[in-house]
Structures are given as C-alpha cells and as structure tokens.
Chains A and B, each alone.
Chain A
Amino acid sequence: MELLCPAGNLASLKTALNAGADAVYLGLKDDTNARSFAGLNFTPKKLLEAVQFTKKQGKKIFLTINTFPKPGEEKRWYEAVDIAANTGIDALIVADLSLLDYAHSRYPHLPLHLSVQASATNLGALQLYKEEFNIERAVLPRVLSMKQVRDLAKVTPVDLEVFAFGSLCIMAEGRCHLSSYVTGQSPNTGGSCSPAKHVRWQEEGADRLTRLNEVLIDKSGIDEQMGYPVVCKGRYITEGGTAPSHLLESPTSLNTLSLLPELAKANVVSLKIEGRQRSPAYVEQVTKVWRNAIDTYLRDPQNYQTQAEWDRALSKVSEGQTTTLGAYERTWQ
C-alpha cells in the first residue's frame, strides 16, 4: 500500500520523503493544476530537481495536470504533458478527456492516473477511461461509502487510490460549482476553490465575519477554530428558520486511520494525503503518523488498532481541529 504525499514546494517534497512517503505528487506553477496558489508549485527547472531528488531516494513522483484546458489556450496544458514526459515523471494525474487523449497517444508508456477531478465513481466510468486511454489508476472522489469502495474494488479494471487524510471536500470533485457561483473561479476553470483574493475577514465586536466575494459565509467568535473559508462549510439560515447552522458541513478534516485495515483488504493500492497548499510542518506531521500506521498494520494486520496519539497528532493539523470519516461512513451521508 503506497503512502502518497503532497508537495507544494521542494521543502515539502523533501520533508515528505524523509518522513516516509512512498510517493509524492505535485503541480506546475500555473493553472494546469487545481492548487494554483501564489507561492506554490514548481517551475520546469524545479520540477527536474524534484524528480532527481525523488528518484535518488528510490521513490515515485506524480505530476498533477488536473484542470480543464481552456479553448484557445490548450497549448499550455499540452506543454505541461510534454514537460512531464521529458522530465522522467512516474505518472500523470489527469482529468480532462482531451488531455488524457493527448498523453495516451503521444506518450503511451507514460502511466496515467485518473484525477479525482474526473469524478469517476462507478464501474462504467472506470471502464471508459481504461478502454480509451489505458489509465493505470483512478483516484476515487470522496463520495463513496466504504462498502461502495469495496464493491467497486472487486470489479474495477484499474488500480484504486483513495483520499486517506486532509481537508474534506464533500462534493463530487470536478463537478462542484459552488466556488465559481460566488467568486467566478472554480478548481476546474481557475485552478483553485475559494481563491484567496476573494476572502476577507472582518472583526465586528466579539464576532469575526468571513466573507467570500463580500458574501457572508460565516460569523464566528474571535477565538473559534476556523477552517479555510469555502462555501460548503459556511453557516446559513433556512427559509423560515432563525438559527444559523452548518447546513452542508462544518469545518473538519477527513481522517481514515481507523479504516486502514478495510482499505488494505479491499486492495486499494494508494492512500493519498491531501494538502499541497499546506506547510512542510503539516506534511511532516501527517506523513510520519501515516507511515507509522501503515507499518504497524503491515507488521501485524490482525491486531491493528488506531493509536490515540496518532489521532491527537492529526487533529492538531486538521480543520477546526476535528476529523471525520466523511462519506466512507454511511451515517455521515
């Protein structure tokens, strides 16, 4: 079972590998990936450095090109594929049909992973991408229950990767327009959800107001733990209601340490840690815990138990300092 960790920059990449990651994923410094934030990601030169460092350690490195090429600007995305192919990247993580087609026809030996942004949740979708583009692996959206993951794993024609830890996206990824509805930019079109330039915090008495493109998405106490402001984790009032509440989800992170045995038994090949936008300190903390958990499981699968100190360590770096099993657990749904 592979532990796949995020690398927003070279420091995070080195930290992840030193802390026990089997593989890292990263993006280029432009809008060809869905974590297009200022100060993050890799120039082609840095990418080469990252590849060389990773290979020297005998580990794997995947390049994320998971936004959707814009009409008239497709060249930038095709060039990203060319760069990856010529840099010795181990696999490309791609969502767009035309880009999968380009990569598959130009570089048939370059392994393709279907990005979570492609939103493939069922056998038919996986078959399509396998038959047409020979994808090797698919990253499952965070909308399936553990039982559904197990059912799919029994019949899938490709390897499966799941999100194990990190910020919880509660919508079918790649098909969520909440960010663009409020800001005009979505991960698909602009490379980020809730772009920082639209976020504004305002203090008003004992309250902190969180605004996204001036829309009040939350009002909280000054000392309250906050997550990154996204539309789906705001507090709203229903028609006829009076009290604001987290009608969709509260700020929380996904943590599947307790599901590790089930994921392993289902033959999930890779556990993904979310967070290319997070600090090297986050990457180190999370990678260490997960390395320890996976090793503990592999040493003695029968007696694996989540340790309280792992959960504590992960909670500290979680949104709102709380975690959930998300959609894997049917009662969450």
Chain B
Amino acid sequence: MKASLGPLLYCWPKEKVMEFYTSVADSSIPLVYLGETICSRRRELKFSDYMELANILRESGKEVVISTLALLEAPSEYTELKKQVDNGEFIIEANDMGAVQAAKEKGLPFVCGPTVNNYNLASLKKLHAWGMQRFVMPVELSKNWLNAVLSVEKPGFEVEVLGHGYLPLALSARCFTARHQGLAKDKCQTICLSNPKGLLAQTQESQPLLRLNGIQTQSAACIDLSPEIDEMAKIGVDYFRVSPSGMQCIALAEQLFEANRAGHAANTEDHCNGYWYQEAGFNRLD
C-alpha cells in the first residue's frame, strides 16, 4: 500500500497552489490527483496551468491523475470536462457519471472518484468493464463493506480509501460560502479564497459539525485512518488518500509509510473514523 494525494478541494490563490505542488514534486508521494472538483467559477488556475503542473509532477516521477468536477450542470461544464478527458497524456478521476461516459466514449481508462456511487461488486465490475482502473471508496462505506467486496475474488482494479482529511459529504446547486457573505453565486468574487480550509459551522452547543466549501459541504472533523494502515493493507487497499488542507499534509503523507512512523496521531481532538466502523461518520472510536 502507498500514499496518494487527493485533489485540492479548496480555493487557494494561484501562487499558493504553485508553491504547494512544487513541494509535492519534491516529496516521496507516488500518486497525485490534480484539478478543480468543486466549482467551475474558481478560475485561479486554468486548464493549461494544471497541465503544466501535471508535467512537472510527472517529471518528478509521480503518477498524475486529472481530477474533474463532481457536479456537472451547465453544458459549458460538460464541454470543459471533455477537454480534460482529451488531454492526451494523463488519465482522469471521474467524479460524476458524466465523466465516466466521456472517458468510456473515448476508450480511455479512468479512476472513479469518491462521489460516484459504488455500493457493490457488480456495479464496480460494470465500471471496470467500461475502463475503471481504480476506485476510491465512497466515504460513507466501511471496513466491513470493503472486506465483503474484496474477499469474493481479487478485483481487476485498484482500491483507494480516503484515509486523512475533511470528508466530502454533499454537493448542492447553492453556494453556501457566497450566500453567507451575502453575495449572489453568479457574482461571488471568488469569495472561497477567504476560506482556505472552508468555513466551519458549529451547533448552538459549540460542537463543530460541518465545513462549508462553496457548493460542497464537508465534515468539520478530519478523518484519520492512519492507525488502520496495516488492516487496510491486509484487506487489499492499494492507496491511502490524504486530502490536502495545508502544506503540512505533504509531510503527513510521506510519513504514513515510514518504518518508524510517529506523531501521526499527535493532534487528534477533531478526528473521526466512524464510517470505517460502520457507525455515524463523525464518531471517533479508539
């Protein structure tokens, strides 16, 4: 099992994104996902910028996957997606069934991201027949689920699990960040730039619950499955995904598989792992 770095789900200024991926290029992380998956109005980086970054990362010896939008609504978004699929060099992470179709139509292999519904082996096999090389387990599924699916036979595709980061929980047409700032979605001034880790929403008893990230709703708590790495490897997980929320994620991903890994559980107060144990996602079980 190896580490992977998921796509950056937040909206950061271009310089910060460049700086982040320059460090990623120098890291030992073997698999990197790259691209805007949340909102087509975030235009800090253009398609050509992502391609440039992808090439830099590949030259540093990494496998690069171009991640695509999770919610495709306007025809223009679907046109843009087809351009990404057609990039000619890198495979894509399909985060919507429309992206699966775009890759399948071209006979191109793809990775199925966590927002494509995959709830049983028969569905996974169907996607594999259409070109799926690897799939990222939907976040609400568990160790038992994975075991049940992978114990039947060795699958012809790889398996990736989101092991560290804030959980992608839902997608809406509504932009919660713009709405909170009193801005219309169509004139949002890319206000997401002001929340580099999303906007924390707490209950009226000060319990952190959600993290608003544009049209996406994330968990307030950070999933941490690093203590499960050995178990995951045994079940047949190929990649442990770290979803980036800051520069520190690079070191964290690098340390996951170091012989004497230490300190990974240093800051656990906002960690959760309930889904892995088939419980409410925000639960933390020791």
Cα of A143 to Cα of B73 in the assembled complex, Å: 8
Cα of A244 to Cα of B207 in the assembled complex, Å: 13
Q: Which residues does chain A contribute within 8 Å of B225, judged by CB atoms?
A: none
Quick one: which of A97, A121, A152, A235 has the most chain B CB within 10 A?
A: A97
Cα of A232 to Cα of B186 in the assembled complex, Å: 22
Question: Would you call B170 and A98 a contact (CB within 8 A)?
Answer: no
Q: Contacts A69-B119, A172-B172, A238-B200 known; A128 to B101 CB distance under 8 Å?
A: yes
A248 CB-CB contact with B under 8 Å: yes
B3 CB-CB contact with A under 8 Å: no
Cα of A123 to Cα of B79 in the assembled complex, Å: 10
Q: Which residues does chain A contribute within 8 Å of B237, judged by CB atoms?
A: none
Q: Contacts A98-B126, A330-B185 known; A177 to B169 CB distance under 8 Å?
A: yes
Q: Tell which of A38-46, A85-93, A214-222, A259-267 binds the partner.
A: A214-222
Chain A 172-197: CB-based contact to B (< 8 A → 1; otherwise 0): 10111110111110101100000000
Chain A 97-114: CB-based contact to B (< 8 A → 1; otherwise 0): 110011000000000000
Q: Which residues does chain B contribute within 8 Å of A175, judged by CB atoms?
A: 70, 115, 117, 170-171
Cα of A213 to Cα of B280 in the assembled complex, Å: 9
Q: Which residues does chain B contribute within 8 Å of A249, judged by CB atoms?
A: 174
Q: How far is the CB of B118 from chain A (nearest CB, A)?
A: 8
Chain B: interface secondary structure?
mixed
Q: Which residues does chain B contribute within 8 Å of A170, judged by CB atoms?
A: 172-174
Q: Which residues does chain A contribute within 8 Å of B126, judged by CB atoms?
A: 97-98, 101, 132
Question: Would you call B117 and A95 a contact (CB within 8 A)?
Answer: yes
Q: How far is the CB of B200 from chain A (nearest CB, A)?
A: 4
Q: How far is the CB of B256 from chain A (nearest CB, A)?
A: 24
Q: Residue of A at shortest CB range from B175?
A: A333
Cα of A123 to Cα of B175 in the assembled complex, Å: 23
Question: Would you call A71 and B120 a contact (CB within 8 A)?
Answer: yes
Question: Would you call A172 and B171 a contact (CB within 8 A)?
Answer: yes
Q: Which residues does chain A contribute within 8 Å of B149, judged by CB atoms?
A: 71
Q: How far is the CB of A309 from chain B (nearest CB, A)?
A: 30
Question: Would you call A68 and B120 a contact (CB within 8 A)?
Answer: yes
Chain B 92-103: CB-based contact to A (< 8 A → 1; otherwise 0): 000011111110
Cα of A218 to Cα of B209 in the assembled complex, Å: 13
Cα of A244 to Cα of B140 in the assembled complex, Å: 28
Quick one: which of A71, A101, A181, A182 has the most chain B CB within 10 A?
A: A181
Chain A 231-255: CB-based contact to B (< 8 A → 1; otherwise 0): 1101111110000100111000000
B: number of interface residues (CB 8 Å): 68
Cα of A122 to Cα of B71 in the assembled complex, Å: 9
Q: Which residues does chain B contribute within 8 Å of A125, judged by CB atoms?
A: 72, 96-98, 100-101
Q: How far is the CB of A293 from chain B (nearest CB, A)?
A: 24
Chain B 128-145: CB-based contact to A (< 8 A → 1; otherwise 0): 000000000011110001
| Contact-size category for A | 35 or more
Cα of A186 to Cα of B138 in the assembled complex, Å: 12
Q: Residue of A at shortest CB range from B147?
A: A71
Partner of B171, one of A120, A171, A213: A171
Q: Which residues does chain A contribute within 8 Å of B74, judged by CB atoms?
A: 148, 151
Cα of A117 to Cα of B57 in the assembled complex, Å: 37
Partner of A247, one of B100, B127, B173, B180: B180
A144 CB-CB contact with B under 8 Å: yes
Quick one: which of A96, A101, A129, A144 has the most chain B CB within 10 A?
A: A96
B275 CB-CB contact with A under 8 Å: yes
Cα of A327 to Cα of B199 in the assembled complex, Å: 22
Q: How far is the CB of A75 from chain B (nearest CB, A)?
A: 12
Cα of A175 to Cα of B141 in the assembled complex, Å: 12
Q: Contacts A183-B280, A239-B199 known; A124 to B140 CB distance under 8 Å?
A: no
Partner of B204, one of A74, A183, A236: A236
Q: Residue of B at shortest CB range from A98?
A: B122
Chain B 237-277: CB-based contact to A (< 8 A → 1; otherwise 0): 00000000000000000000000000000000000001100
A145 CB-CB contact with B under 8 Å: yes
Q: How far is the CB of B84 from chain A (nearest CB, A)?
A: 12
Question: Would you call B203 and A215 a contact (CB within 8 A)?
Answer: yes
Q: Which residues does chain A contribute within 8 Å of B210, judged by CB atoms?
A: 178, 231, 236, 247
Q: How far is the CB of A226 from chain B (nearest CB, A)?
A: 15
Cα of A308 to Cα of B209 in the assembled complex, Å: 40
Partner of A181, one of B101, B173, B219: B219
Q: Which residues does chain B contribute within 8 Å of A231, judged by CB atoms?
A: 209-210
Q: Which residues does chain B contribute within 8 Å of A180, judged by CB atoms?
A: 140, 275, 280-281
Cα of A56 to Cα of B172 in the assembled complex, Å: 41
Question: Would you call B170 and A122 a contact (CB within 8 A)?
Answer: no
Q: How far is the CB of A35 from chain B (nearest CB, A)?
A: 18
Q: Can you pick out 19 interface pairs between chain A and chain B where the beta carbons lie within 8 Å of each other?
A: A70-B145, A95-B117, A98-B126, A102-B122, A118-B97, A119-B96, A128-B97, A143-B71, A172-B171, A172-B173, A175-B115, A175-B171, A181-B140, A181-B282, A184-B281, A239-B199, A239-B200, A248-B217, A333-B173
What is the interface of chain A, defined by CB distance below 8 A to chain B?
68-72, 74, 95-98, 101-102, 117-125, 127-129, 132, 142-145, 148, 151-152, 155, 170-172, 174-178, 180-184, 186, 188-189, 213, 215-219, 231-232, 234-239, 244, 247-249, 327, 330-333
